[in-house]
């Protein structure tokens, strides 16, 4: 159970971990072995637009191996896109059975499908025989109740699924409360598949304790924990970083520059950066103070001044860096 041998996967966080983020993150904060891309919006195959695949084009994903994710529940639509992904060279696609957003679950997609096991099996029966690449699943404990996945898992044993990533919350919780390692452990006992742990890994200590609790788990997915402390994956792997603040500042500068070129308009650009700071501000205690100033920025000039001042201030008086 060497922490340095653990396989770490960057979680998909829609609105943040796009291909630009993933590449720069890997450049500045090595530690992850792979990533799952945020889900591709489910659309009918008849309205396919190649732009939908922009985030997973191989040329934009050279730094970190990525598995694309689909949220579709219509087998034909799913297969159509999976085939496009195969043509791009992908060997695996991930099915999202965990999204908790009400707009998604109301359509029985994401975690909203978990109370309907027969629909899940029916989908797999239609998709798997025609799918030329591997299928993995990312899911939660349930939508309404914690035992929905638990009762489904034995029926999944006979399907050729490469792995099942389990986030220890139910859909209705959204991100409230805590991820439940006990319930994750029950799922682990009930499946023959390779199971990946996901949910609330936010420190090396927590990771180590989970590794001791679940020796059968070899792959771990981390999302918000690394957005709050980008060095976490490297720390788990025992990598040393000499000047964390420089790394962080350079990452921020390069990401901002790239989005400035790519995104249309200041509000889009600032919205994107502010979303990142909702997490990154936790790196700089007291979090509240730094976040408030950035949140108030209305123009690019203001944003650049405030973030420049912010990094200079911390260079003079290093924060209680974790
Ligand atoms: C803003 C946001 C967007 C997310 N987008 C996706 C997504 O596109 N696909 C997915 O499977 N999970 C998505 N997730 C869930 C995360 O991948 C992960 O399962 C969850 O945050 C729990 O892991 P963590 O505690 O390590 O962050 C999202 C989570 C957040 C907070």
Q: What is the per-residue pLDDT across 10-68, written as a single tens digit (0 to 9) for each?
A: 999 999 999 999 999 999 999 999 999 999 998 898 889 999 999 999 999 999 999 99
Helix (H) or strand (E) holding 69: strand 69-70
**What are the tokens at 189?**
């006992």
- pTM score, whole prediction: 0.97
How is 268-321 classified by DSSP, letter by letter?
HHHHHHHHHHHHHGGGSSSHHHHHHHHHH--SHHHHHHHHHHHHHHHHHS----
Tell which atom from ligand 1 comes closest to the C-alpha of 110.
11
User: Tens digit of pLDDT for each residue in 85-120?
Assistant: 999 999 999 999 999 999 999 999 999 999 999 999
CA of 222 to the centre of ligand 1 (A): 9
Output the pLDDT for position 46: 87
Measure the CA–CA gap between 78 and 130, rounded to whole angstroms: 11
Cα four-point dihedral sign 253, 276, 4, 207: positive
In this structure, is the dihedral angle defined by the CA atoms of residues 313, 314, 315 and 316, taken in order, positive or negative?
positive
For domain 3-236, give the CATH superfamily: Aldolase class I (3.20.20.70)
What is the residue extent of each domain of the chain? 3-236, 244-316
Instruction: Give residue 276 CA to ligand 1 midpoint distance, Å.
Output: 13
- Say how many Å lie between the CA of residue 224 and the centre of ligand 1: 8
Structure tokens at 118: 């027969």
Instruction: Verify whether ligand 1 is closer than 6 Å to residue 39 (CB atom).
Output: yes
Quote the pLDDT of residue 318: 60
């Amino acid at each position: 159970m060497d922490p340095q041998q653990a396989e770490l996967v960057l979680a998909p966080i829609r609105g943040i971990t796009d291909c630009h983020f993933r590449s720069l993150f890997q450049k500045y904060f090595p530690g992850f072995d792979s990533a799952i891309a945020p889900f591709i919006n489910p659309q009918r195959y008849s309205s396919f637009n190649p732009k939908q695949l922009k985030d997973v084009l191989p040329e934009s994903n050279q730094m970190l191996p990525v598995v694309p994710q689909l949220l579709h529940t219509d087998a034909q639509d799913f297969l159509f896109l999976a085939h496009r992904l195969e043509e791009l060279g992908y060997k695996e696609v991930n099915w999202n059975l965990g999204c908790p957003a009400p707009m998604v679950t109301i359509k029985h997609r994401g975690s909203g499908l978990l109370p309907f096991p027969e629909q899940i099996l029916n989908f797999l029966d239609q998709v798997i025989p025609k799918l030329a690449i591997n299928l993995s699943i990312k899911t939660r404990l349930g939508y309404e109740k914690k035992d929905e996945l638990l009762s489904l898992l034995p029926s999944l044993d006979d399907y050729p699924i490469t792995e099942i990533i389990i986030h220890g919350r139910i859909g209705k919780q959204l991100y409230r409360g805590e991820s439940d390692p006990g319930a994750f452990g029950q799922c682990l006992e009930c499946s023959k598949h390779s199971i990946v742990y996901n949910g609330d890994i936010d420190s090396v200590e927590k990771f180590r304790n989970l590794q001791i609790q679940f020796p059968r788990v070899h792959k771990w997915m981390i999302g918000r924990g690394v957005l709050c402390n980008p060095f976490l994956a490297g720390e788990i792997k025992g990598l040393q970083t000499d000047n964390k603040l420089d790394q962080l500042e350079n990452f921020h500068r390069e990401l901002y520059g790239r989005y400035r070129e790519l995104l249309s308009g200041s509000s889009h650009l600032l919205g994107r950066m502010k979303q990142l700071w909702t997490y990154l501000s936790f790196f700089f205690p007291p979090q509240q103070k730094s976040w408030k100033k950035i949140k108030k920025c209305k123009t690019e000039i203001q944003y650049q001044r405030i973030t420049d001042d912010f990094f200079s201030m911390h260079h003079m008086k290093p924060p209680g860096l974790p």
